Structure 1
Amino acid sequence: MEMNEKTSTGIEENVAGLLCYLLGWISGLIFFLIEKENQTVRFHAMQSIVTFGGLNIIYILLMVSVIGIPLMPIVGLIGLAAWIILMIKAFQGEKFKFPITGNLAEKWVKDVKL
């Protein structure tokens, strides 16, 4: 487990990381905008935005397609599993990166300065 530092919000790093995932991309966006200093929390926030924003887009696209409707429960289960795994890993202080979205999040956190 990494050092559990405070964040610019005053919340412990692991709790803030968990909260980044709590409401999916919405809480990720909130934490990305308010957390200015802690790169670990900013990573979790961006990973939440990319992962759950992407899943929401996929879900919406499946809803408008008759062929995609049977796939909606699978996307829902993937989202639920990702949500649980990411919250647990963040609370444990682990910087767990999902394939593709984790790498994008890591890159974009470095590129976007607020």
Structure 2
Amino acid sequence: MSEKNSPPVSSSGLTQNTAATLSYVLGFITGLIFLFLEKDNKFIRFHAMQSIVISVAFLILNTVLSFIPIIGWILAPLLAPVGLVIWILCMVKAYKGEWYEFPWAGKFAREQVDKMSAQGQ
């Protein structure tokens, strides 16, 4: 493969699709790692931010539901399979090179990355 046709590379030396996919692997942990490591590639930064937003939202929702008697105790275990499906969907979309915006989280992630880029972070 020639250099002209090679996929964009991240600051870590990984292709952008691989880095964006890896930003979802451990939720907000890998999201934070790739958000701070990657300085230029907005595709990676977007997926890293979306990973952070989604994983933190699930963590908060699970915590809140676990303190609500009966209804929360029934709904909290249902979050795990839903979270797994969302996690896999986001990783597949990132690996395919798609700017997939998960409802509410994707828009927020894009806005935050745009603000960070405008500020030069």
Give the structure-1-normalised TM-score.
Answer: 0.93
CA RMSD of aligned residues (A): 1.2
**Higher-Rg member (1/2):** 2
Q: Which 4+ runs in 1 deviate beyond 2 A?
A: none
Match of 2:77 in 1: 73
The one-letter code sitting in structure 2 at the alignment partner of 1:28 is: G
Once the 2 structures are TM-superposed, how far is the Cα of residue 5 of structure 1 from its aligned partner?
0.4
Alignment partner of 1:31 out of 12, 30, 34: 34
The CA deviation string for residues 16-58 of structure 1, in whole angstroms up to 9 with x for no partner, is 0110100011111111011111000000000000111111110
Distance 2:8 2:19 in 1: 10
Structure 1: which 5+ runs fail to align? none
Instruction: Report sequence identity in percent.
Output: 40
Once the 2 structures are TM-superposed, how far is the Cα of residue 76 of structure 1 from its aligned partner?
1.4
| Mapped contact 1:4–1:93 kept (Cα < 8 A) | no
Report which structure shows greater RCO (CA 8 Å, sep ≥6). 1
Alignment partner of 2:104 out of 96, 100, 106: 100
Partner SS state of residue 100, structure 2: coil
Once the 2 structures are TM-superposed, how far is the Cα of residue 84 of structure 1 from its aligned partner?
0.4
The one-letter code sitting in structure 1 at the alignment partner of 2:98 is: E
Structure 2: which 5+ runs fail to align? 1-5
Q: Would you say 1:6 and 2:14 are equivalent positions? A: no
